[in-house]
Amino acid sequence: MSDNLLNAQPRSDFGKGFARRLRMIDQIPGVFYFTGKENVPLSIDLTTFKLLLKTKPSLIELHVDGLKPRECLIRDLQRDPVTNEILHVDFLGIQRGTKVKLSVPVVLLGVPEGVKTGGGILQHAAKELEIECLPKDIPSSIEIDVEELDIGDAIHVSALDFPAYTFITGAQVVVALVVEPAVIKDLIDEEEGEEGEEGEEGEEGEEIGRASCRERV
């Protein structure tokens, strides 16, 4: 059995009420999309799906009752903004030999020289990058070595060399950079200053409001 196998059942019911009932029995709704084919609404066991996500699979072998097994990507994952629980998932079927576009997480490796010797701060500017590649070349993450970065240095997408795929993200996008601590402090001070001004304006507004109330009395 494949480690990235996921079983699902087709569903014919829709709507928020049905989705809530599914979640009450530890299942979530989903949809399988495949170019040139009719979309297939699904229900998926939530616990099994969470375990699969922990393995960070590049491809998923989706088995739906009554249909041929299909390799697919997670096209979209919806989460509750408060609890972060998974609410809905979309799968995109792929064809071997046909390139696909997808976003892949970026992992920074090592401690920059500017951090070790100069007290600089590493900023991870781009957490994901969009790429195009064949299904067999889909990476679980893009690993980038940052050990040689000194203070003031940055890595742009244009400097990345991964022959197996093409970057869709713009060449000038900054992936990682090392800045002086003073730069971070200035940014924090600016933000605190703006918040302070807003607070003063709010207090002034409250005083005006109270004065107006007294005048009406």
Last residue of a domain, one of 94, 112, 128: 94
Residues 118 and 137 in one domain: yes
Q: Where are the beta strands (DSSP E) in 18-153?
A: 27-33, 40-45, 60-64, 70-79, 86-93, 100-109, 121-124, 128-133, 142-145
**Residue 62 and residue 8 in contact, taking contact as beta carbons nearer than 8 Å:** yes
Domain enclosing residue 165, as ranges? 101-179
Last residue of a domain, one of 59, 94, 129: 94
CA distance 37 to 39: 6
Residues 45 and 74 in one domain: yes
Last residue of a domain, one of 94, 128, 148: 94
CA distance 125 to 64: 39
What pLDDT band is residue 37 in, cutting at 50, 70 and 90?
confident
Look at residue 58 and tell me if it is in a domain.
Answer: yes
At 167, give phi and psi (nearest 5°).
-85, 130
Give the chain's domain count. 2
The CATH number of the domain where 66 resides is what? 2.40.240.10
**Residue 128 and residue 163 in contact, taking contact as beta carbons nearer than 8 Å:** no
Residues 72 and 106 in one domain: no
Q: pTM for this structure? A: 0.63
- Mean pLDDT throughout 160-175? 95
CA distance 73 to 100: 9
The CATH number of the domain where 160 resides is what? 2.170.120.20
CB neighbour list of residue 69: distance below 8 Å, 6 or more residues apart = 61, 62, 63
What pLDDT band is residue 204 in, cutting at 50, 70 and 90?
very low
Q: Chain-wide mean pLDDT for the chain?
A: 82
Q: What is the per-residue pLDDT for 19?
A: 76
